[in-house]
Structure 1
Amino acid sequence: MTDQKTKRELTDGFLRSVVVEERTDFSDTKVEGLQVRVSHTGKKTFAVRARAPSRAIQRVNIGSYPELKLAAARDMARELIVKIRQGVDVAAERREARAPVVAKPTLSDILSEYRQVATAKGLGIWTPSQPHLQPEAERSIRAVFAKLLERDLTLVSTMDLMIEMKAYRRVGRTGKGDTANGRVSKARLYLMPVLDWAAGRRRFRKVGAGRLPAIAAPDASETVDLAVDDPKILGHRERVLDEHELTRLLPLLTYPAPQIEGLQTPPEKDFRFIALRFILLTASRVANVEDALWRDIDFARGIWTKPSIKNTKGKQIVRSQIVHLSDAALALLKALPGSDMSNPLAHVFPNTNGGPLGNWTRFQEALNRASGTSGWHRHDLRRTASTLLDQLGVDAVMVGRVLGHSVSREDKAAATALRHYIMQKQIRSHVDAPMKVALDLLAEVYAAMEADGRSMARVA
């Protein structure tokens, strides 16, 4: 079928009524270069046809009638004809304008996006304990994969991930030290669902479950977990400090800090020693003590509110915890700068810059030398405190409450029924909370051990 061509002044009346048996191009005599192509089905399409400086003819469709009005088609034709005669490739320009903009997010961008998704779902490790802090998972990923953060994620390979994992070293005041395969293993574990979400893989494979649009992100699960073959990482830890070790350690856990070889921080600015004592007194996780703010402490009621604690049952929900502090813990806090609450948002145990404590490695080594202890980690203090509570006859349910563990599945029905009768309201002001009674008992044991330690030091 050959196209028919004819010239005439286009009008709305003509365009509404024109009927052809075979496709015909009508050229407008009012705006030279404007055409309307009419098919035998009745479809009418406006186009612009003009000659470029190279003498090549450009023909560009600009819209269909009656969606595109005749007057508007003429205005568009006048503009496009000028551009074509100036040498602009209008067809290519219009194709580029219609092409979707393909974003190339960096790893840092994806982490920020995933944090919002995970926070909305209540994932504890992706929920900051305080508004100005990064969540635990993101902090680990950004530390281990720091060199990849600003790279286009679609250009990052599994080999790139592996290189950074093998190269990661602990960073302290003296620079880079030993490998830290434990932290690398955690960062890898945290990163896997992020990359699967970005790529729409595995549990995110259904449309809408992952990122829209999905991108070609590397698969972190295809890398080796360096912790598996690391003889220094034993998996589940069972380390607790014995009485001899606590007797040697407790006299050093003071504020102002003791001056021991290997540490340069001024005693009045070093809160690491006293933070460890607070962990022992409360059986708290290190992260919760690091993140504690003065606004979380209520001296009048003798409680510490942890805004966010780790969920031990894997539920996607953020939980808080109220700790009824022992007299010893309250006395410890009242002796610290900031206890006047002049700055409620200040850290209870700050680093030298006012932020949360960190970079414990060098400190731990110096403390081990000074106390004559070894083989323990600050996280073991929580296990030590809970073990002592058990040995002191504190029932398992109360130990669980101190640790911030949720009610077990077997106890749910009973706990739900009891909540209808037991209210969180203190009826008699002089009755101590059971948690406080338990932690007071724990503090008494520490005090006795510390007294023994100081006696032995004097004798020595």
Structure 2
Amino acid sequence: MKSTQLLTDRLIQSIKADTGRIQITDARTQGLKLRVSRTGHKSFAVMMRDKAGKYTTITIGTYPDLSLREAREVACQIRVDMRTKGLEKPRTYANSKVGKITLRELLDEVQPVFAQTKKGWRPRGGPGSSAYTRNTIERVFRPLLDKPVERLTAEDFGRAANGYQPVRPLKGKDTANGQVSRALSYLSPVLDWAAHRGRKFDKIGAGRATRLDVAELRRVHDPATNDPTIKGKRQRVLSVEDDRCHLPASTIPCPKENPTPEHPSEE
């Protein structure tokens, strides 16, 4: 079935091709088509005649990996390349940046989103300072920060995590398995958010605006699981915030010392 309509995200998300393949021409952008297969796969294509009058079709991306806005920009670029400049093939598409976002850029995107509900993602000393969770991720995965995140595999993250050495040994330890474990736990939901993965981020609008095909860290070994040096009683100093929580409970008198009708003292 073919038709011409003004494409919107709501329309694209609601389309089902139960009776056969559907092709919709965007009423706003010349040559832009949305194709929906019987299986539900949705992709954008540009169909147009080049300067020589030859009709051609160019597939430019899959929805929602490529957003409607980006598809329109690419379609306009292709039309300029082929109709105005007379190129036989369009240049590298404008959507190429979608596949080149680095791990560092992804952290830039997710920090203000997670900071709304997660204290560890909030800058500790004001807007210009860093967050504890991000610092931990960047220390452990420093070799991967400026690489395209969609090209990083679970094996890449595993090698970086299990090969990490502490900047300075703490209390005589020569490993940083505890820090690596925390970095994995902090980064895993970031990648799930980017990939619209898991119960928390698979609903429309809960994850990143444009989904990325990124690795899943559940396959990566956590070195802290078999490190005997970080088992047992933890050494920790209570913070002022902890004291505020515990102090009121520690001053409540015992019922036997202050008898009430419900708890009479024993004679």
- Asked whether the equivalents of residues 192 and 201 of structure 2 are also in contact (C-alpha less than 8 Å), the reply is yes
- Supply the distance in 2 between the matched residues of 1:150 and 1:59 (Cα, whole angstroms): 41
Aligned AA (1:216): D
Asked if residue 186 in structure 1 is aligned to residue 186 in structure 2, the reply is: no
- Kindly indicate whether the alpha-carbon contact (under 8 Å) linking 2:122 and 2:131 is maintained by their aligned counterparts in 1: yes
**1:230 maps onto 2:227 in alignment:** yes
Question: 1:236 and 1:129 mapped to 2: Cα distance?
Answer: 27
Offset of residue 166 of structure 1:
1.2
Amino acid at match of 1:134: S
Give the alignment partner of residue 166 of structure 2, picking from 156, 160, 170: 170
Match of 2:120 among 112, 120, 125: 125
The answer for the alignment partner of 1:348 in structure 2 is: none
Judged with a 3 Å threshold, the aligned counterparts in structure 2 of structure 1 residues 100 and 236 are, in CA distance, closer, same or farther, namely same
- Cα offset for 1:48? 7.4
Give per-residue Cα distances to partners, 1:132-167, cap 9 Å, x unaligned. Answer: 321111110001001000010111111111111111
In the superposition, relative to structure 1, how do residues 235 and 194 fare at CA in structure 2: closer, same or farther (>3 Å)? farther
SS of aligned partner of 1:210 = coil
Amino acid at match of 1:129: R
8 Å contact from structure 1 (residues 49, 60) kept in 2? no
1:134 paired residue number? 130
Does the CA contact (< 8 Å) of 1:129 and 1:135 recur in 2? yes
SS of equivalent to 1:147: helix
Q: After superposition, where does 1:10-49 map in structure 2 within 5 Å?
A: none
Give 1:284 shift. Answer: 2.2
Say whether 1:161 aligns with 2:116. no
Aligned to 2:10: none
Deviation at 1:59, TM superposition (A): 3.1
TM-superposed deviation, 1:128:
1.4
Contact 1:141 1:188 in 2 (8 A): yes
Aligned-residue identity in percent: 30
- Equivalents in 2 of 1:149, 1:187: separation in Å? 13
**Alpha-carbon distance in 1 for matches of 2:162, 2:133:** 19
- Between the aligned partners of 2:49 and 2:194, the Cα distance in structure 1 is 42
| CA distance in structure 2 between the aligned counterparts of 1:226 and 1:148, rounded to whole angstroms | 19
- TM-score for both structures, normalised by structure 2: 0.55
CA RMSD across the alignment:
3.7
In structure 1, what is the Cα distance between the partners aligned to 2:183 and 2:92? 41
CA contact (8 A) 2:51 2:83 kept: no
Is residue 211 from structure 1 mapped to residue 166 from structure 2 by the alignment? no
Report the equivalent of 1:396: 249
> Is 2:101 the partner of 1:146?
no
Counterpart in 2 of 1:220? 217
Once the two structures are TM-superposed, the CA of residue 122 in structure 1 deviates from its matched residue by 2.6
Distance 2:151 2:93 in 1: 25
Cα 1:207–1:80, aligned 2, differ >3 Å: closer, same or farther? closer
Distance 1:118 1:145 in 2: 19
Per-residue deviation, residues 338-361 of structure 1 (Å, max 9, x unmatched): xxxxxxxxxxxxxxxxxxxxxxxx
Aligned to 1:265: none
Residue number in structure 1 paired with 2:195: 199
- Match of residue 239 from structure 2: 284
Deviations 1:23-63 (A, max 9, x none): xxxxxxxxxxxxxxxxxxxxxxx97774xxxxxxx4369xx
* CA spacing shift, 1:211–1:169, aligned 2, 3 Å: same
Question: Residue 198 of structure 1: CA displacement?
Answer: 0.9
Q: Partners in 1 of 2:213 and 2:143 — Cα distance?
A: 19
The total of aligned residue pairs comes to: 176
Larger-gyration structure (1/2): 1
Secondary structure of the structure 1 residue equivalent to 2:223: coil
1:230 deviates by 0.3
Distance 1:236 1:114, change over 3 A: farther
Judged with a 3 Å threshold, the aligned counterparts in structure 2 of structure 1 residues 235 and 153 are, in CA distance, closer, same or farther, namely farther
> What secondary structure is seen at the aligned counterpart in 1 of 2:224?
coil
TM-score by length of 1: 0.34
Assess if the C-alpha contact under 8 Å between 2:49 and 2:83 holds in 1. Answer: no
Query: Are the counterparts in 1 of residues 191 and 214 from structure 2 also a CA contact under 8 Å?
Result: yes
- Which runs of 5 or more structure 1 residues have no equivalent in the other structure? 1-45, 51-57, 62-75, 241-278, 286-308, 313-320, 324-385, 387-393, 400-460
Question: Residue type of the partner of 2:214?
Answer: A
Cα distance between partner residues in 1 of 2:210 and 2:50: 35
Q: Would the aligned equivalents of 1:48 and 1:60 in 2 still touch at CA under 8 Å?
A: yes
Structure 1 letter corresponding to 2:249: A
Report what 1:444 is aligned to: none
What is the rounded CA distance, in whole Å, between the counterparts of 1:47 and 1:223 in structure 2?
49
Aligned pairs for 1:259-278 (under 5 A) are: none
Q: Could you list the runs of 5+ residues in structure 2 that have no partner in the other structure?
A: 1-47, 57-78, 253-267
Is residue 2:68 matched to residue 1:113?
no
For 2:92 and 2:163, how far apart are their aligned partners in 1? 44
